Chain A
Amino acid sequence: GQQVMQIPQYQHVQEGEDFTTYCNSSTTLSNIQWYKQRPGGHPVFLIQLVKSGEVKKQKRLTFQFGEAKKNSSLHITATQTTDVGTYFCAGRGTGANNLFFGTGTRLTVIP
């Protein structure tokens, strides 16, 4: 079955350092979404990528979709304490009905 793996599982950074989480699928994806979940909260949509090689930016966040549409990454520049939370990727396979979530990367930012 389809799997979406995400690494690392945990990441601790000093405030101001950069952070990257990676998402890899066993199959080609039609699109990929990224969500953020604050501690004790619920997932909140950040962005969707659809095109091969697509790059999108939201302020300090940069999202990339691989050329083969099987991997994606989220990079945060100069982390802030407000970036704390778990970041999930969610991919949909071509022709698939389900959205498969990655296992998430929990980011801790040390002030």
Chain B
Amino acid sequence: NAGVTQTPKFQVLKTGQSMTLQCAQDMNHNSMYWYRQDPGMGLRLIYYSASEGTTDKGEVPNGYNVSRLNKREFSLRLESAAPSQTSVYFCASSDGGYLGDTQYFGPGTRLTVL
């Protein structure tokens, strides 16, 4: 099992460009999450999907959109990238309900917006 996979690993964008970060899990988990990690800020939840077909905003959703394509895949889209979105993005998944579940993280995408 690969667990949680993310593509790409690294990306450099210019301000205003768009891109989609891909995430897939092969653990048959119901819930999936997108976090961003900034120095000194810990991990902050952007969006989550408690189950296939549902998505909800997290702590910092502005400037992002998500799609839960199927049970395995959860993508994060930046429509018009800004330098403030320079960060490391982690996708995670968990089994069952999202309350109190162990989260399994992907390797991360390091995004720089110039």
Contacts and interface: CB of A to CB of B under 8 A. Distances in A.
Contact of A30 (B42, B56, B99): B99
A43 B90 CA distance: 9
A33 B99 CA distance: 11
Interface string A1-15: 100101001000000
A30 B100 contact: yes
A104 interface: yes
Interface in A71-88: 88
Nearest to B44: A101
Interface residues of B: mostly helix, strand, loop or mixed? loop
A44 B90 CA distance: 12
A42 B99 contact: no
Contact of B42 (A42, A97, A104): A104
A102 B102 contact: no
B100 A97 contact: no
B105 A33 contact: no
Interface residues of A, number: 26
Given A99-B45, A103-B41, A104-B42, A31 B105 contact: no
A31 B94 CA distance: 16
Contacts of A45: 102-104
Interface centre among B35, B43, B99, B104 (most CB of A within 10 A): B43
B102 A48 contact: yes
B56 A33 contact: no
A50 interface: yes
13 contacts: A6-B42, A41-B107, A42-B90, A43-B90, A44-B105, A45-B104, A50-B100, A88-B42, A90-B103, A92-B99, A97-B48, A98-B58, A101-B35
**Closest 6 A/B residue pairs (Cβ):** A101-B43, A101-B42, A42-B105, A103-B42, A31-B100, A45-B102
